[in-house]
Amino acid sequence: MSSNQYSIEKVLEKMMETVGDSREKIFEIGEDSRGEYNLLKRELENIQSNVIEIINKNEKMEVQSRFARNRLAEVSKYFNKFTDEEVRKAYEQANDYQVKLAVLRQEEKQLRERRDHIERRLIKLQDTIGRAETLVNQINVVINYLTGDLKQVTEMVADAMEIQKFGLKIIQVQEEERKRLSREIHDGPAQMMANVLLRSDIVERIYTERGPEEAMKEIRDLRVMVKDSLSEVRRIIYDLRPMALDDLGLIPTLEKYLRYIQEHVKATITFKSFGKERRIPSDMEVAIFRFVQEAVQNANKHSEAKEIAVKVELKLNGATAIIKDDGKGFNTNLKKEGSFGLLGMRERVNMLDGELSIHSNPGRGTLIMVQIPIKSN
């Protein structure tokens, strides 16, 4: 090992140690914030319960105070008809209720102020937790990059700076995809299942309190929620890898996928296939499907297109896919930081010795075409 290599390794070890310590500290900040968040959340629930309780007490005390004041007004008006003891008791009772009412109102005010303070604090803590998680994820990307084996990438890319950028982007795409899937499952099926569980408890209560007819209404709503949850799970599975691709092939799978997308977007999607429908190598089917999927999703999310046309042609010596939209287009010479869609497309196409071309201008829509050769055995 040369002295230069040894020096670089020592520098990397020191960097890893520093980055690792920073990650632990940020993780601790996030965990401390999460612990405080949970404590404040429980306190908020107690306070909300106490506020309701004290409001009820206030209402009862208001009624009693009103009766006491009316009694005092009556005693004052007909002073000569009552004994000194009755007059004294009327004054003391009215004063006592007034003091208790003032105390309860003050207590209610303090509880409301504490509740508002906790709610503001919870918002800040949630923001701190989110930022801590983001920083930890970013540091994980750096650590994975520093410790990862980039030898194969080194053989493909000669320039050292390009290797660094390329390696980081690959890891960032992986981290973002994991984070996206985690968020989709948490916000989608997991949340829906939690709601189903909650609604099932409500069904039992309604059946007991209001009878079977009302309970059936809730069950019908519950069935809709379960159906939506199942649809969301299927969508996530489909995004990971459509099983129909292995069973039916590229063209039927694209038809099925685009019909599903059409049901959930405003743009009109048309699909045409040319050439004899046949099976092509699996890696090519996956690459073309992902290419179409990415292009259609980009058109829906970013281009504000009203019409999206998809064309696929299978020939003996190659496959061609074209996606055209009438959206707002973009400047192909400008690279958008943090966007890896086109990078992923290019890498898939390059691995299959294909060609990718993009034609777009602001206000003139976008046309994306991929051509992949099919090599004869």
The pLDDT of residue 205: 76
For residue range 85-100, what is the model confidence (pLDDT) as tens digits? 777 887 888 888 888 8
Asked whether residue 325 is assigned to any structural domain, the reply reads yes
Between strands 307-314 and 268-274, the pairing is parallel
The pLDDT of residue 151: 42
Asked whether residue 155 is assigned to any structural domain, the reply reads no
Give φ, ψ of 55 to 5 degrees: -65, -40
Answer yes or no: do 201 and 305 share one domain: no
Answer yes or no: do 220 and 282 share one domain: no
> CB-hemisphere CA count at 13 Å for 111?
19
Answer yes or no: do 24 and 122 share one domain: yes
User: Long-range contacts made by residues 65-72, C-beta under 8 angstroms, separation at least 24?
Assistant: 65/94, 65/97, 65/98, 65/100, 65/101, 68/93, 68/94, 68/96, 68/97, 68/98, 69/94
The pLDDT of residue 186: 60
Are 335 and 370 spatial neighbours (Cβ–Cβ below 8 Å)?
no
Answer yes or no: do 206 and 318 share one domain: no
Provide the residue range defining the domain that includes 354: 247-373
The pLDDT of residue 323: 93
Asked whether residue 304 is assigned to any structural domain, the reply reads yes
Answer yes or no: do 201 and 225 share one domain: yes
For residues 139-163, give the mean pLDDT.
54
The pLDDT of residue 234: 63
Asked whether residue 154 is assigned to any structural domain, the reply reads no
Residue ending a domain, choose from 223, 240, 257: 240
What pLDDT band is residue 163 in, cutting at 50, 70 and 90?
very low
What pLDDT band is residue 341 in, cutting at 50, 70 and 90?
low
The amino acid that residue 188 corresponds to is G
What pLDDT band is residue 107 in, cutting at 50, 70 and 90?
confident
Integer Cα distance of 70 and 197 in angstroms:
52
Asked whether residue 316 is assigned to any structural domain, the reply reads yes
The pLDDT of residue 10: 67
Answer yes or no: do 255 and 236 share one domain: no
Are 347 and 290 spatial neighbours (Cβ–Cβ below 8 Å)?
no
For residue range 269-315, what is the model confidence (pLDDT) as tens digits? 999 999 888 888 888 888 888 888 888 988 888 888 899 999 999 98
For residues 254-271, give the mean pLDDT.
89
Answer yes or no: do 130 and 167 share one domain: no
pLDDT at 325 over 50: yes
Integer Cα distance of 364 and 309 in angstroms:
15
What pLDDT band is residue 152 in, cutting at 50, 70 and 90?
very low
Asked whether residue 13 is assigned to any structural domain, the reply reads yes
The pLDDT of residue 160: 47
Asked whether residue 14 is assigned to any structural domain, the reply reads yes
End-to-end CA distance of the chain: 46
The pLDDT of residue 173: 53
Asked whether residue 259 is assigned to any structural domain, the reply reads yes
Answer yes or no: do 290 and 220 share one domain: no
The pLDDT of residue 169: 59
For residue 274, how far is the Cα from the chain centroid? 39
pLDDT at 54 over 60: yes
Answer yes or no: do 63 and 132 share one domain: yes
Residue ending a domain, choose from 148, 169, 184: 148
Cβ atoms < 10 Å from Cβ of 268: 12
**Would you say the C-alpha torsion 12, 14, 18, 20 has a positive or negative sign?**
positive
pLDDT at 165 over 60: no
Among 42-56, 141-155, 212-226, 344-358, the range of highest mean pLDDT: 42-56
pLDDT at 190 over 50: yes
The pLDDT of residue 146: 61
How many separate domains does the chain show?
A: 3
CA distances from 195 to 188, 192, 202, 250 (A): 11, 5, 10, 37
Integer Cα distance of 127 and 232 in angstroms:
28
For residues 325-338, give the mean pLDDT.
73
What pLDDT band is residue 222 in, cutting at 50, 70 and 90?
confident
Mean pLDDT of the chain: 76
The pLDDT of residue 324: 94
Residue ending a domain, choose from 114, 148, 182: 148
Answer yes or no: do 272 and 356 share one domain: yes
The pLDDT of residue 11: 64
- Contacts of 373 by beta carbon, 8 Å cutoff, 6+ apart: 317, 318, 352, 353, 354
pLDDT at 74 over 90: no
What pLDDT band is residue 148 in, cutting at 50, 70 and 90?
low
Answer yes or no: do 357 and 253 share one domain: yes
Answer yes or no: do 17 and 127 share one domain: yes
pTM: 0.43
